[in-house]
Structure 1
């Protein structure tokens, strides 16, 4: 069971008094902007959440990283949120489902999801693979992402990037203190409870992964 009140405390928001659009939008924005962790547990690739409000279905998804900041209507069309444009079309891969089309600057191209209800346990095997397999991108590269009203901040390995309407700024971090400062200041991930050897070991792994990636780049 999900500890709803505990999750809301992590988000820093109160339980909405009514099931209305104002409460839903506030919860979604907090979920993509403010939560430094997922207390409910990551449950696969990917469990889409839909909500019916005033008779209209919505995609409510805070687990898409660089994607939606607020709920999207489940109907064919396009939507602009901040600097990003999204599309929703009927899925050809999942009959009766939908295909979410990401902005070209997003971290992925699209996502198809079926309309049928499913239990989180159905994603257990995929969650295990993504969490532990050496082939998983989440294992190979340390990644942090936070969606904001005006764009998105992403950290992959030693490279933080900021995507806004005017373009993308990125740099390579060379010092461990700078890297941990970015984790805390930009992404709200405070690793102050980790001792010095643990922090040093994490930084060594981040550097090694970055060097391996850089060695495979052209030029």
Structure 2
């Protein structure tokens, strides 16, 4: 069994008051953990931008979070599954596929790890690795679910027998996600992780994106453009200086100055600024 720093993990979630042996698993605790994770641990692929190793071994992913970083789905859901198991929750990892664009075909592509949890005689879809996904666990049954200003849907998948489909809010960063019913090990995702982290064709190398979800809305920093979506609508701000960009990273996404060293910060900003200029040139020419 993997040994992780449960106290350190709970502290990072702002839940220092929860014992690392809190008693029988409860729906209340599951919801508390899920909300805190979405609010405090950023969805980010900065490792790909920087060309740095970021293993998806669960213990390494937990250590990464405890040290102040975030990650993408393999890190976030991989680590969260270990925390839930350590606190007594029965957790299952599933091979899943996020459909990046509406025009792309749905499928269980292995570009996402989904989680289900059995708690208080109910099955829940649990996912802290979708970036701007749902804030609280969803009951694993067909229905439409409202959370804050967003609406989500769950239904049986039409591309994988026995699987499920999550349909995102129309304003979300992707249209839908399908996952297969069978349990899988983290090693199942290693090949896809390597491609996502290193391939020049990967969106994580082409664009720097950082996301988070809270009870009222979502924050999305793509390149130098910060977008806030909530009940009031969408607010967009262009962050034009290195100091302001890192202030946003710290204040909005919880990635403070200690999360990256000085040399990495310089290299990352140079890449982000170059990507933004290229994006502006593309917009100007269309």
Contact 2:219 2:227 in 1 (8 A): yes
Aligned ranges for residues 3-152 of structure 1 at < 5 Å?
Answer: 3=4, 5=6, 6-13=8-15, 14=18, 15=20, 16-36=22-42, 39=62, 42=75, 45-152=111-218
> Deviating runs (4+, > 6 A) in structure 1?
none
TM superposition shift of 1:36: 4.6
CA contact (8 A) 2:42 2:211 kept: no
Which structure has more relative contact order (CA 8 Å, sep 6+)? It is 2
The 1:36–1:107 alpha-carbon spacing in structure 2 relative to 1, beyond 3 Å, is closer
**Take 1:7 and 1:21, find their aligned partners in 2: how far apart are those partners?**
19
Describe the superposition over 1:41-87 as per-residue Cα deviations: whole angstroms up to 9, x where unpaired: 62672111101122221101111110110000111110000111000
Distance 1:8 1:138 in 2: 28
Give distance in 1, aligned partners of 2:10 and 2:183: 24
SS of 1:174 mapped into structure 2 = coil
Superposed displacement of residue 211, structure 1: 1.7
SS of equivalent residue, structure 1 residue 3: coil
Structure 1 residue 4: deviation in Å? 5.4
Unaligned runs of 5+ in 2: 44-60, 64-73, 79-109
- For the pair 1:181 / 2:242, whether they are aligned, the reply is no
Distance 1:7 1:191 in 2: 19
| 1:194 and 2:217 aligned | no
Q: How many residue pairs end up in the alignment?
A: 218
**How far apart in 2 are the matches of 1:39 and 1:210?**
32
Q: Distance in 1 between matches of 2:264 and 2:176?
A: 36
Aligned to 2:276: 210
**Which sits farther off after the overlay, 79-88 or 45-54?**
45-54
Shift of 1:216: 2.3
Moved more, 114-123 or 13-22: 13-22
Query: What is the SS of the residue equivalent to 2:181?
Result: coil
In terms of mean alpha carbon deviation, does 5-14 or 130-139 score higher? 5-14
**RMSD between superposed Cα atoms in Å:** 1.9
| Structure 1 unmatched ranges of 5 or more | none
